[in-house]
Every structure is written in structure tokens, then in C-alpha cells.
Structure 1
Amino acid sequence: MSLDKDTVARIARLARLKVPEEELAPLAGELSGILAWIEQLNEVDTSNVAPLASVSDVTLPMREDKVTDGGIAARVLANAPGGAVYVDPSDKNAGGFFTVPKVVE
């Protein structure tokens, strides 16, 4: 595919690029070369090539998919900031959460 100066000027305008008039002809040649190279790639037979999600053949370690609380609620709640009050997770009424001062009036 060969591009002319008008097509390159239109592409530059659509890409919001300011290309001086004297650079349009050389740029058209460079872009035409790139498109010719891409057309060569289209000629390669890839029918027996499996699609890739990654170039490295590594599988991620999997864990059992089960819902847990993490088992560290007391340690997490111990990180309460200065204005927050730690509520013991064994307190069934509070449920093991942070209580914080009211911010919005």
C-alpha cells in the first residue's frame, strides 16, 4: 500500500500532529515502507500456530477457592489509627470492626 502526501497530511491532522509541508513526502515514503513490511507479515502462514497469552510457559500457582476471613482479624484490627477504637472480634455485638469518630456533620 502506498501513501501520498495528502493521505499523510490527513493522518497527521487526525492524530493532532503538526507536520510541516516539506516533511510530508519523506514521511509518506517511510509510512509506505512500514505498511509494505506489514503486508509481508500477512503472507506468513500461521494456521498451525496456537495463540499466545504470554511468551513464557509458566502457570500460576493455584489455591483452593474457598471463602475465609483470613484468620487474622485480631491482627488487622490491632492496626487501628489513633482516632479509632479497637473492638474485640470476640464481642458478638460489635462484630470485630473499627469504630471511628464521626467525620461529616
Structure 2
Amino acid sequence: MEIDVRHIARLAKLDIPEEELPRMEQELSSIVSMVEKLPELASKESLLDPENTMELRPDVVQPSFPRDEMLKNAPDTAAGCLMVPKVVE
């Protein structure tokens, strides 16, 4: 299977050095071939084991670090929240 590592890197906004491309292509090809060998699941029910009913821990409220103390080193805050630059138009 031919994998276009440059295209994937561009989509992921990764800067992969030219000398790393052959190794990355080989690694991605081995990952894809491993996934292709995984067996198909007959149905979603096969994911559940009725004998093993995952017991969840109780949700206990515990004291945490004060918000004001956490935000005092943040570059920009408003209304107790971190402010970050807009990245999506």
C-alpha cells in the first residue's frame, strides 16, 4: 500500500524532515497492515461482556487548587477563564 506521508503531514500541519519520510512511510504502512488484519466484529453487542459489569468508583467531591491561584500566571484571563487567540475563522 502506498502512503503519501507528505500529504498526511501537511494535513496534520507537521514538519517532517525529508530524510525521515522513508522511515515514516514504512512505519505507517506497517500500522495500516496491522489494522487491516484485525478481525471484523459481528455486531456492537460483541464488545460488551455481561459477566464483567465495569464497576465505577464513586464520584467524591474533593478540595482542589484555587482558581485564582491557578490563573495568576496565565497570560490572559477573563471571567475566571483562560483567553486564547482565535484559530478558526
User: Normalising by structure 2, what TM-score?
Assistant: 0.49
Whose helix fraction is larger, Structure 1's or Structure 2's?
2
Q: Which has the larger radius of gyration?
A: 1
> Please, what TM-score do these two structures have when normalized by structure 1?
0.42
